[in-house]
């Protein structure tokens, strides 16, 4: 029992950190562009699929982890410049547009990649003993990479010029324009960064889950939950909410069926939406 609990807690934290990265991308885009990106889950899936091809070609997981976010970030660039830019002031229309994009990307992957799930084997096969069970060291590695990524993101937002601009645009767009900040460029790079983050987490998740064209659908919903519970536009809130919810789901699944745990999480989210639309950790 103790070992099961330990595994559940570790899994919850690892998965929570991956979800945090996904939710961070979604939340950055929302906080800045006020867009709900329905295609975010599809970009996450695309990251894993691109990585699968790269790994097939090179046989190296780490190259996949580098290349996939770059490719998907570039696709994000095209999406932002080509589509979102023209409709950015109509939030409901952007939801529909990105929903169409989600369908198109999923089906394109279905056509090229096929419908059957595939696996990416973890580059680190070592398992360390955990009480009477064994735990794959790769998952710890994934957690560490996620944490490093978040620290990098934090430094980027706090210490660089672009980070300063992004925070300025979130606070007051008009004033940012008046001060000469290239707002449209900031929008673009935020979307690119958000897309690349989704792809990065897709590659990180690939050794744990299987790679298939629908893998982004449920993740998108979980990311929504996290962003809302943590507070829209509140990045720290997203990280806390991601780990909290994953832990509750992971540990809860030991005691009740996982679907019931999800229903409770969703009901909880409705309550948050109704009574604290600014999120649990908002002011």
164 binds other proteins (CB under 8 A): no
Among 93, 130, 151, 164, binds other proteins (CB under 8 A): 93
Identity of the residue, 70 or 112, whose beta carbon is nearer to other proteins in the bound complex: 112
Of residues 239 through 268, those in contact with other proteins by CB under 8 A are 257, 259-260, 262-263, 266-267
Residue 238: Cβ-neighbour burial (10 angstroms; 0-12, 13-18, 19+): buried
H/E run at residue 125: none
Among 4, 86, 160, 184, binds other proteins (CB under 8 A): 86
- Report residue 282: phi and psi, to 5°: -75, 165
Residue 211 per-residue DSSP state? B
How near is the Cβ of 203 to other proteins at its closest, in Å?
Answer: 24
Among 137, 269, 276, 281, binds other proteins (CB under 8 A): 269
Q: How far apart, in whole angstroms, are the C-alpha atoms of residue 93 and residue 175?
A: 26
Q: How far apart, in whole angstroms, are the C-alpha atoms of residue 15 and residue 208?
A: 9
Among 4, 58, 107, 121, binds other proteins (CB under 8 A): 107
Q: How far apart, in whole angstroms, are the C-alpha atoms of residue 246 and residue 19?
A: 8
Q: What is the CA radius of gyration of the chain?
A: 19
Of residues 185 through 224, those in contact with other proteins by CB under 8 A are 217, 221, 224
Among 102, 120, 145, 229, binds other proteins (CB under 8 A): 102
Q: How many residues does the chain have?
A: 283
CB atoms near residue 146 (< 10 Å): 23
Among 2, 57, 70, 104, binds other proteins (CB under 8 A): 104
Among 91, 117, 182, 282, binds other proteins (CB under 8 A): 91
* Cα torsion angle, 54, 46, 235, 32, sign: positive
70 binds other proteins (CB under 8 A): no
Instruction: Give residues in contact with other proteins (CB under 8 A).
Output: 36, 83, 86-87, 91-93, 95-97, 99-108, 110-111, 217, 221, 224, 228, 257, 259-260, 262-263, 266-267, 269-270, 273-274, 277
């Amino acid at each position: 029992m103790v070992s099961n609990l330990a595994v559940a807690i570790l899994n919850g934290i690892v998965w929570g950190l991956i979800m945090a990265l996904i939710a961070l991308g979604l939340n950055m885009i929302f906080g800045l562009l006020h867009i709900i990106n329905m295609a975010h889950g599809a970009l996450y899936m695309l990251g894993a699929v691109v990585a699968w091809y790269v790994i097939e070609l090179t046989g190296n997981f780490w190259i996949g982890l580098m290349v996939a976010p770059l490719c998907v970030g570039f696709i994000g660039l095209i999406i932002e410049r080509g589509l979102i830019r023209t409709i950015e002031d109509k939030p409901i229309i952007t939801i529909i547009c990105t929903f169409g994009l989600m369908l198109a990307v999923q089906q394109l992957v279905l056509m090229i990649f096929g419908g059957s799930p595939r696996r990416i084997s973890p580059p680190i096969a070592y398992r360390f003993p955990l009480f009477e069970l064994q735990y794959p060291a790769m998952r710890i590695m994934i957690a560490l990479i996620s944490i490093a990524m978040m620290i990098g993101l934090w430094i980027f937002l706090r210490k660089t010029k672009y980070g300063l601009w992004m925070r300025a645009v979130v606070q007051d767009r008009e004033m940012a324009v008046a001060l000469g900040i290239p707002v449209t460029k900031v929008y673009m790079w935020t979307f690119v960064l958000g897309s690349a983050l989704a792809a990065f987490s897709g590659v990180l998740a690939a050794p744990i889950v299987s790679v298939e064209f629908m893998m982004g659908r449920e993740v998108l919903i979980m990311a929504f939950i996290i962003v809302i519970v943590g507070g829209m536009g509140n990045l720290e809130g997203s990280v806390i909410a991601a780990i909290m919810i994953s832990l509750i789901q992971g540990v809860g699944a030991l005691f009740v069926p996982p679907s019931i745990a999800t229903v409770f999480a969703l009901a909880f989210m409705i309550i948050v939406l109704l009574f604290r639309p600014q999120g649990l950790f908002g002011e």
